[in-house]
């Protein structure tokens, strides 16, 4: 009788534990382009942005993604440079966008 009760209790509690774990799990933070300030003297008031993927390689490469003349960091990040962002997510390298 005790063995049967333990089996029943285990069968009922396992799904409850799994549901509790799923509800307690926080959603993953998505990587995004982040503005960096205070990176040294900046007499021309330039902006610098950094993209760090959610999974960074153990020894990540660093890519400086330069925008076209009269372009912007967000323009190249979301436009022609989007393939580099996708590759950074896949291979774990870091992107700096001036």
> What's this model's pTM, rounded to 2 decimal places?
0.65
Domain residue extents for the chain: 33-97
One DSSP character per residue, the chain reads: -HHHHHHHHHHHHHHHHHHHHHHHPPPPPPP-EEEE--SS--TT---EEEE--SS--SS--EEE-PPPTT--HHHHHHTTTHHHHHHHHHH--EEEE-
Query: pLDDT tens digit string along 8-26?
Result: 444 444 343 333 433 343 3
Query: pLDDT tens digit string along 50-88?
Result: 999 999 999 999 999 998 888 888 888 888 889 999 999
């Amino acid at each position: 009788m005790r063995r049967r009760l333990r089996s029943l209790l285990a069968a009922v509690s396992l799904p409850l534990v799994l549901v509790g774990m799923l509800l307690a799990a926080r959603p993953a933070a998505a990587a995004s382009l982040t503005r960096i300030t205070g990176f040294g003297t900046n007499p021309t008031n330039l902006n610098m942005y950094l993209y760090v993927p959610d999974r960074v390689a153990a020894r990540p490469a660093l890519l400086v993604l330069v925008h076209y003349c009269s372009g912007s960091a967000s323009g190249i990040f979301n436009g022609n440079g989007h393939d580099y962002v996708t590759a950074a997510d896949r291979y774990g390298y870091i992107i700096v966008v001036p």
